[in-house]
């Protein structure tokens, strides 16, 4: 791209005595000049807006400082993963919000991926009814703004589900009402620690078994049901220890109080709505990505698998999806990013994420627009960079497997 | 495509370098030059500011905007309403989007001193209350332990609530909500056991229910909520105009001046009324307006009592009594300094 | 074959190899076979079919009843609706339709909005459909359109001026979406070229800008437009909020546009660059005459998809207090006559967005197919 610049101009170099002009016509010096100009303009612009901001703040009698973060927030937050009261600082309120954002993004990414893969595969199946219905679902979902999804689902939870006294219940321990989904709270007794230890041992055992089985397969051609045996180790060992140590776990079952269920773990409707809406919306996009990825795999791969006698399901699992993943991962990354960014719409239904805590109530109560917005923007930027680098790492790992 | 992209690039450059409108002069000059008053109001609170089917803004606050526009511009309809949530109102004012806030805004120390706002006068004395279904059998806020509470976020009620429940050692689950309408929907759906906001807002909200009698406003008022108009720091003339327009409406009630009889009263020679209505002296000129400013403000929407009764008074379905907002001669707090 | 048939037409016995072809058994073709293979082939398939059939059976009758059969289309208030029908109350949407479309735009001036919409379609035809007669003139019109449209809507120069605060409803969504895309295209091109530039500083700045824009949610940028942007202009000056929103939306869209166009640029074979260089063209000539026309053409489906995304995102202006079609719906619910009809509003707006976005995405598919056959 660059060479043509110099070629075009070199021909025109005449006997101009002008030194500056000759600098301009030299390819290297010109690029240096251009960059100096660019950076000068950039910094001049930066200086200009910062200067304006200083003048404007001064005119309003405001200062630019992050001191407010140490002041008590004096508002309550309904969902907190860490200790927080209205006496805690704004900084702590920020962390409560950040964790809430990460929580919904994390669960959203998991469910959206599972649902998206399922839908994408059903969309390609021979089953006419299922594939058409999934098509309708995908088109309906992705052509409606995500904000509407959130509002609609929140509306349905709040308006259609019964109040806690008439809550839908499963075995009188799991309750679903318009105050959210409440499940019993596990309480660990003496000796539960052994089960936890057993679980970690089981993980190590499963990992070891996998590599051992792989070696066996390569050396002796012996094939084990790696998946089922791993699952068996993972769950069997802790379960055994759990039973032997005398079931050291009790459940704190929620009970109806005067207004709400008392005890248990409650997933508030806002979290439920946001999580469902983001999962559904994103799963429609993921389904299309998965479909495109699978369709991009050469037809010969299907035919070859059929020729060696693999069933359709096994072909998908063993041949097609591993290859399609390489095509799927990059667009999947941007869907994960979108989901995380869309979680900021929480503010529309009152889920207390970063935007609602530091960028909402804190901003409002302290009047520190500039500082709080900078914090919010910077935080999202960091989250996005983390997600994309994690996915890039995964993508690279997949590429290395390629032979 | 090539031509298109060049033209579009040109468009973009023009849009970005668009010269901003100069606004160095005071707010009064800006408003006069613009010919329209930019009034920040609630996005929708029955009785205070809401739109009817034709999109016309109605309510106590919306009418006050018209009175100011009539005083300043001579036409009560020259108002541009800027609907704002609790969260956006101050930034809209500070970014000069709006000239004045008439949005049930509580006068507090921090807002006045630290957020750099100028509070004008309390047009509505209010306090924070709780509304609850009668079927829940609650008679006092002290019984609300464990309840789910709907609050409007970005308001003082949110802070009062935290303080009050902490002081009384009551636990609760807050549901922060952006607007009154959203809060109403959540309350109706029983998403929250109780809704807390200014008592006036509760009454207005309750009036909109199919069966208002099923809902109880608890007797405790947990805070003082003096609501009134707000302007930016640093423009005293503009603050004076808003302040004295509001006082003119209150004084008009005191002197028995209404929208209907303002012209007739101006012709009479009672000194206080004459000074108010421009029949004597020229108070308007000192404000930077003309001598008929107050008469126009009163004629636009009526005096304080008329505005109150028409929008939220006992004859409306909201049915608020004057209470603290009665004129001081009737035992209330509405009191206008003398016009002289 | 024919001779044997004529020899033994009736007695039913054929010499070996002379029997005429029979149709295959009815279970190997036709609807029964199709159903057997496509719907009930295998356990998973059968379960899927039954599951989906059950969902259909549950959802479709309920929706039809709520939306059409049991819905109220006339009435003056919610109570009227409830008195006549148990389903949706569309009378509410009907009574507010004007508000949904025009927002608070003055009634007497609404013809200007209509005209702007019609002209938008006229301007889009030559851009989107390359067999339009007089396409060249049409494209010039399309370039001038933003200015004509802006003048028509805002007024001035002989038209009564209308404040941007009165813009609302559907018209606001369209204005923000179309402006965002139109202006982000040139910025996106510049950013995409800058990202591939050999000048490291230019590249770093462009990459930094693009990654920043793509790393933060639109809603935070809208907050920036609402609360922060006015701090960055010289004291005493003031931008209209709509202009600030448009600036942020344009910057937001240009970050995504840059990536779409970069994809297009990367798809151009290296030989094109080399051949253009070989002709002695300068950098900008290469770009303008050779690379960009091809790259943009490949990018059109991506651009359309960006537009759909942006158009859907225009509903977010509600968070900064601007009343778009969804915001109008929400604020209309404050009217005590119609309170509590949020589902109707959401379903109406959702249907509206579905219809418009789905048709645009069909167009994008058509383009993709056309490009495939052309390349």
In chain B, the N- to C-terminal Cα span, in Å, equals 70
- Interface contact C165-B179, CB threshold 8 A: no
Instruction: For C70-103, write each residue's pLDDT tens digit.
Output: 888 888 877 788 788 778 888 888 888 888 888 8
B311/chain C closest Cα distance in angstroms: 13
* pLDDT score recorded for residue C11: 60
- B190 contacts in A (CB within 8 Å)? 163, 178
Instruction: For A237-265, write each residue's pLDDT tens digit.
Output: 888 888 887 777 777 778 777 788 777 78
Query: Which segments of chain C have a pLDDT < 70?
Result: 1-12, 24-29, 236, 334-336, 339, 373-375
Instruction: For B62-104, write each residue's pLDDT tens digit.
Output: 999 999 999 999 998 999 888 887 777 888 888 788 899 998 8
Residue B20 is nearest to which of C146, C183, C238, comparing CB atoms?
A: C238
Contact call for residues B92 and B339 (beta carbons, < 8 A): no
pLDDT over threshold 90, residue A165:
no
CB of A54 within 8 Å of any CB in chain C? no
Nearest Cα to C233, choosing from A49, A369, A64?
Answer: A49
- Residue with more model confidence, C331 or A296: A296
* pLDDT score recorded for residue B194: 93
Compute the distance between CA of residue A370 and CA of residue A363 in angstroms, rounded to an integer: 9
**Chains meeting A at 3+ CB pairs closer than 8 A?**
B, C
- A126 contacts in C (CB within 8 Å)? 37-38, 41, 45
**How many cross-chain Cβ pairs, B to C, lie less than 8 Å apart?**
137
pLDDT over threshold 60, residue A73:
yes
- Residue with more model confidence, A181 or B1: A181
A291/chain B closest Cα distance in angstroms: 32
CA distances from C48 to A69, A131, C39 (A): 54, 10, 8
**Domain residue spans in chain C?**
40-93, 107-161, 175-374
| Tokens read off for C312 | 């859907």
Which H/E stretch holds residue B84? strand B79-84
pLDDT over threshold 70, residue A9:
no
| Tokens read off for C347 | 């379903």
CB of A350 within 8 Å of any CB in chain B? yes
Contact call for residues B232 and B93 (beta carbons, < 8 A): yes
Q: Concatenate the DSSP letters of all residues of B114-133 into one string.
A: TTTEEE---SEEE-EEEEEE
| Tokens read off for B94 | 């500070």
Rounded to an integer, what is the distance from CA A138 to the centroid of its chain?
20
Compute the distance between CA of residue C367 and CA of residue C298 in angstroms, rounded to an integer: 10
Compute the distance between CA of residue C299 and CA of residue C263 in angstroms, rounded to an integer: 7
Instruction: For A34-64, write each residue's pLDDT tens digit.
Output: 889 989 999 999 999 899 888 888 877 778 8
Percent of chain A whose pLDDT exceeds 70: 94
pLDDT over threshold 70, residue B318:
yes
SS3 category, A255 = strand
| Tokens read off for A310 | 């693999």
Residues 6+ apart with CB under 8 A from A60: B94, B116, B232, B233, B234
* Domain covering C175-374, topology: MetI-like fold (1.10.3720)
* pLDDT score recorded for residue B20: 40
pLDDT band at B326 (very low <50, low <70, confident <90, very high): very high
* Number of DSSP helices (H) and strands (E) in chain B, helices first: 14, 14
Rounded to an integer, what is the distance from CA A81 to the centroid of its chain?
18
* pLDDT score recorded for residue C168: 85
Rounded to an integer, what is the distance from CA C344 to the centroid of its chain?
22
Under DSSP, the state recorded for A99 is H
CB of A28 within 8 Å of any CB in chain C? no
Q: Which domains does chain B have, with CATH numbers?
A: 27-125+226-330 (3.40.190.10), 128-223 (3.40.190.10)
pLDDT band at A275 (very low <50, low <70, confident <90, very high): very high
Burial B287-323 (b: 16+ CB within 10 A, else e): bbbebbbbbbbbbbbbbbbbbbebbbbeebebebebe
Q: Where are the alpha helices (DSSP H) in A11-127?
A: 19-25, 27-60, 90-123
B104 exposed, middle or buried (CB, 10 Å; 0-12, 13-18, 19+)? buried
| Tokens read off for C44 | 């998973």
Instruction: For B287-298, write each residue's pLDDT tens digit.
Output: 889 888 999 999
Nearest CA in chain C to A348: C319
Pairing of strands A261-262, A255-256: antiparallel
Burial B6-26 (b: 16+ CB within 10 A, else e): ebbbebbeebeeeeeeebeee
- Residue with more model confidence, B168 or B44: B168
* Domain covering A90-184+268-401, topology: MetI-like fold (1.10.3720)
Compute the distance between CA of residue A142 and CA of residue A155 in angstroms, rounded to an integer: 19
pLDDT over threshold 80, residue A222:
no
C17/chain A closest Cα distance in angstroms: 33
ipTM: 0.84
- Domain(s) labelled CATH 1.10.3720.10 in chain A stretch across 90-184+268-401
- A154 contacts in C (CB within 8 Å)? none
- Interface contact C247-B24, CB threshold 8 A: no
Contact call for residues C305 and C361 (beta carbons, < 8 A): yes
Instruction: For B188-234, write each residue's pLDDT tens digit.
Output: 888 889 999 988 889 888 887 878 889 999 888 888 889 999 998 88
CA distances from B301 to B259, B268, C169 (A): 7, 21, 29
pLDDT over threshold 70, residue B12:
no
User: Which A residues 138-157 touch C at CB under 8 Å?
Assistant: 139-140, 143-148, 151-152, 155
User: Which C residues 82-101 touch A at CB under 8 Å?
Assistant: none
- Interface contact C236-B12, CB threshold 8 A: no
Q: Count CB atoms within 10 A of the CB of residue A26.
A: 16
């Amino acid at each position: 791209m660059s060479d043509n610049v110099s070629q075009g101009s070199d021909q025109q170099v005449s006997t101009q005595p002008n030194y500056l002009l000759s600098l301009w016509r030299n390819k290297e010096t010109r690029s240096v000049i251009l960059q100096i100009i660019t950076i000068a303009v950039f910094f001049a612009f930066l200086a200009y807006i910062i200067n304006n901001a200083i003048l404007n703040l001064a005119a309003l009698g405001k200062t630019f400082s992050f001191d407010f973060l140490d002041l008590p927030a004096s508002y309550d937050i309904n969902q907190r993963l860490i200790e927080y009261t209205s006496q805690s600082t704004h900084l702590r309120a920020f962390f409560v919000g950040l964790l809430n954002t990460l929580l919904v993004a994390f669960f959203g990414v998991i469910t959206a991926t599972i649902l998206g893969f399922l839908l994408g595969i059903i969309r390609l199946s021979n089953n006419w009814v299922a594939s058409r219905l999934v098509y309708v679902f995908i088109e309906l979902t992705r052509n409606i703004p995500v904000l509407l999804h959130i509002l609609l689902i929140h509306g349905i939870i709040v308006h259609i589900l019964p109040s806690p006294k008439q809550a839908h219940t499963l075995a009188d321990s799991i309750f679903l009402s318009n105050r959210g989904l409440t499940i019993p709270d596990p309480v660990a007794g003496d000796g539960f620690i052994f089960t936890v230890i057993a679980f970690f041992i089981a993980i190590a055992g499963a990992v070891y078994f996998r590599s051992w089985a792989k070696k066996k397969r390569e050396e002796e051609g012996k094939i084990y049901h790696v998946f089922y045996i791993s699952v068996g180790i993972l769950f069997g060992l802790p379960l055994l220890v759990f039973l032997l140590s005398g079931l050291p776990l009790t459940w704190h079952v929620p009970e109806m109080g005067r207004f709400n269920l008392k005890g248990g773990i409650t997933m508030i409707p806002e979290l439920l709505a946001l999580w469902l809406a983001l999962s559904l919306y994103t799963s429609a996009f993921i389904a299309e990505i998965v479909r495109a990825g699978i369709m991009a795999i050469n037809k010969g791969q299907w035919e070859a698998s059929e020729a060696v006698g693999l069933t359709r399901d096994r072909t998908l699992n063993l041949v097609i999806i591993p290859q399609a993943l390489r095509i799927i991962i990059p667009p999947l990354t941007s869907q994960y990013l979108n989901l995380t960014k869309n979680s900021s719409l929480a503010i529309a239904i009152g889920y207390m994420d970063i935007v609602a805590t530091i960028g909402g109530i804190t901003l409002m109560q302290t009047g520190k627009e500039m500082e709080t917005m900078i914090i919010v923007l910077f935080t999202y930027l960091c989250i996005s960079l983390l997600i994309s680098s994690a996915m890039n790492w995964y993508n690279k790992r997949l590429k290395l497997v390629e032979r | 495509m090539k031509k298109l992209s060049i033209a579009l690039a040109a468009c973009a450059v023009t849009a970005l370098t668009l010269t901003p409108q100069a606004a160095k002069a005071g707010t009064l000059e800006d408003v006069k030059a613009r010919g329209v008053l930019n009034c920040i109001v609630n996005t929708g609170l029955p009785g205070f500011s809401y739109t009817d089917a034709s999109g016309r803004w109605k309510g106590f606050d919306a009418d006050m905007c018209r009175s100011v526009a009539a005083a300043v511009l001579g036409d009560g309809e020259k108002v541009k309403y800027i609907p704002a949530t609790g969260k956006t109102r101050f930034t809209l004012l500070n970014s000069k989007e709006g000239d004045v806030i008439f949005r049930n805004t509580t006068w507090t120390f921090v807002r006045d001193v630290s957020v750099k706002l100028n509070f004008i006068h309390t047009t509505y004395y209010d306090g924070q209350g709780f509304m609850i279904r009668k079927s829940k059998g609650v008679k006092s806020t002290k019984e609300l332990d464990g309840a789910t509470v709907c609050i409007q976020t970005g308001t003082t009620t949110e802070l009062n609530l935290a303080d009050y429940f902490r002081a009384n050692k009551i636990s609760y689950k807050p549901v922060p909500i952006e607007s009154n309408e959203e809060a109403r929907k959540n309350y109706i759906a029983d998403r929250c056991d109780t809704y807390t906001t200014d008592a006036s807002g509760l009454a207005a909200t309750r009036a909109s229910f199919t069966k208002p009698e099923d809902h109880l406003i608890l007797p405790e008022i947990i805070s003082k909520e003096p609501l009134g108009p707000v302007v930016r720091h640093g423009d005293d003339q503009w603050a004076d105009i808003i302040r004295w327009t509001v006082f003119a409406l209150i004084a008009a009630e005191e002197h028995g001046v209404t929208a209907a009889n303002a012209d007739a009263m101006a012709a009479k020679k009672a000194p206080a009324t004459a000074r108010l209505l421009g029949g004597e002296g020229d108070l308007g000129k000192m404000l930077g307006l003309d001598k008929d400013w107050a008469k126009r403000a009163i004629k636009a929407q009526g005096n304080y009592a008329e505005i109150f009764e028409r929008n939220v008074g006992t004859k409306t379905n909201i049915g608020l009594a004057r209470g603290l907002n009665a004129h001081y001669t009737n035992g209330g707090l509405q009191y206008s300094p003398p016009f002289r | 074959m024919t001779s044997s048939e004529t020899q033994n037409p009736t007695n039913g016995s054929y010499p070996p190899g002379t029997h005429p072809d029979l149709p295959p058994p009815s279970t190997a073709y036709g609807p029964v076979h199709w159903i057997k293979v496509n719907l009930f082939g295998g356990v998973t398939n059968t379960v899927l079919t039954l599951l989906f059939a059950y969902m259909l059976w549950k959802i479709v009758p309920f929706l039809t009843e709520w939306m059409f059969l049991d819905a109220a289309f006339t009435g003056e208030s919610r109570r009227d609706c409830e008195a006549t029908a148990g389903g949706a109350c569309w009378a509410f949407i009907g009574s507010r339709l004007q508000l949904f479309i025009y927002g608070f735009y003055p009634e007497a001036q609404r013809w200007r909005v209509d005209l702007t919409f019609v002209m938008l379609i006229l301007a889009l035809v030559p851009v989107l459909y390359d067999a339009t007669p007089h396409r060249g003139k049409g494209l010039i019109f399309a370039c001038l359109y933003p200015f004509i449209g802006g003048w028509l809507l805002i007024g001035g120069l002989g038209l009564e001026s209308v404040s941007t605060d009165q813009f609302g409803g559907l018209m606001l969504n369209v204005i923000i979406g179309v402006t965002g895309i139109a202006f982000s295209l040139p910025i996106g091109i510049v950013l995409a070229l800058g990202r591939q530039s050999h000048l490291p500083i230019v590249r770093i700045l462009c990459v930094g800008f693009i990654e920043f824009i793509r790393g933060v949610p639109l809603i935070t940028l809208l907050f920036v437009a609402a609360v922060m942007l006015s701090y960055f202009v010289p004291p005493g000056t003031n931008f209209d909020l709509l202009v600030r929103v448009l600036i942020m939306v344009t910057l937001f869209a240009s970050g995504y546009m840059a990536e779409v166009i970069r994809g297009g640029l990367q798809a151009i074979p290296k030989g094109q660059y080399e051949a253009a260089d070989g002709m002695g063209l300068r950098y900008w000539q290469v770009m303008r005459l050779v690379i960009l026309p091809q790259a943009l053409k490949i990018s059109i489906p991506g651009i359309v998809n960006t537009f759909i995304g942006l158009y859907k995102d225009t509903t977010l202006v509600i968070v900064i207090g601007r009343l778009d079609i969804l915001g109008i719906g929400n604020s209309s619910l404050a009217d005590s006559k119609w309170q509590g009809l949020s589902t109707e509003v959401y379903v109406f707006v959702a249907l509206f967005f579905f219809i418009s976005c789905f048709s645009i995405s069909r167009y994008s598919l058509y383009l993709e197919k056309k490009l495939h056959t052309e390349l």
